[in-house]
Amino acid sequence: MIGTLGGAGGLGWSHSNEEKVFAAAMLYSVNKVATQTQALSAKELPPGVPIKKANN
């Protein structure tokens, strides 16, 4: 995870205040998704849903 706005500066998103806010929001959301993904991948999957076979 990047975690700082410094990483967005290398992507060219540090010219105006609006671009800095956008880059910070994107990095924040990516970090949140990464944290949630790690938490979900640590959990066991629930049992599968039973599926009826079609009558041919």
Assign 56 a pLDDT band (cuts: 50, 70, 90).
low
Model pLDDT, residue 10 = 55
Question: Is pLDDT larger for residue 46 or for residue 2?
Answer: 46
Assign 52 to helix, strand or coil: coil
Going by pLDDT thresholds of 50, 70 and 90, the confidence category of residue 1 is very low
pLDDT tens sequence across 3-55: 454 555 555 656 788 888 998 999 999 999 999 998 888 888 888 898 888 77
* Distance of alpha carbon 5 from alpha carbon 12, whole angstroms: 12
CA separation for the pair 33, 48 (Å, rounded) = 25
